[in-house]
Amino acid sequence: MDLHVRYEGDDDPKKCTARRLAKFDLATLHKTTRATPPGIVLNPFAEQALSPADRTGAGDRLVALDCSWETAEQEAFDIGGVHRSLPFLVASNPVNYGTPFQLNTVEAFAGALVILGEREQAEEILSKFSWGHTFLELNAEPLERYAACEDSTEVIEVQDEYLADE
């Protein structure tokens, strides 16, 4: 899948996973919303969860917004495409390790790729980070279960099991 990032540039450049993906030609950065192509937009404010069904309905392009969690607001996600939220996943990055729903850009892409049946690509993008393999290890069971779902409704049912344990 093609990975595209609407890049805000408000995080520490040394810790920015989107910039590192672009450095290795694994993602394309876009400075404006207008320049960002439509696709499956990973949006934490979206009303529908990402599911394997989105692969056939929305195409071969994933779009993420790279910005600080402190400044992320719904309006920032005004990007064309099909908006989907990621289900319950735990961060493995050094800043938010073990925190649910606080994924950085590469973790969001990797989680989405696994759910959409692109595990090898998820492994490839995570390989550029010393902690990357930990993301797949921490989330092995939920990712496998989400990837086996038919649609968003099933993904939410699986997610609810994990949230009940929290």
**How far is it, in rounded angstroms, from Cα 89 to Cα 9?**
24
Which residue in 83, 69, 92, 67 sits closest to 143, CA to CA?
92
Looking up tokens 């595990």, which residue turns up? 119
How many structural domains comprise the chain?
1
Q: Give the pLDDT confidence of 16-55 residue by residue, as tens digits.
A: 899 999 999 999 999 876 777 889 999 988 999 999 999 8
List pLDDT tens digits, range 100-146.
Answer: 999 999 999 999 999 999 999 999 999 999 999 999 999 999 999 99
Q: Please name the residue ranges forming H helices in 39-127.
A: 53-58, 105-115, 119-126
Residue 141 near residue 165, CB atoms below 8 Å: no
Give mean pLDDT, residues 71-78.
62
Domain membership of residue 34 as a residue range: 2-165
What are the strands, taking DSSP E only, across the chain?
2-7, 28-30, 39-42, 61-66, 81-84
pLDDT for position 154: 98
**Residue 16 confidence (pLDDT):** 87
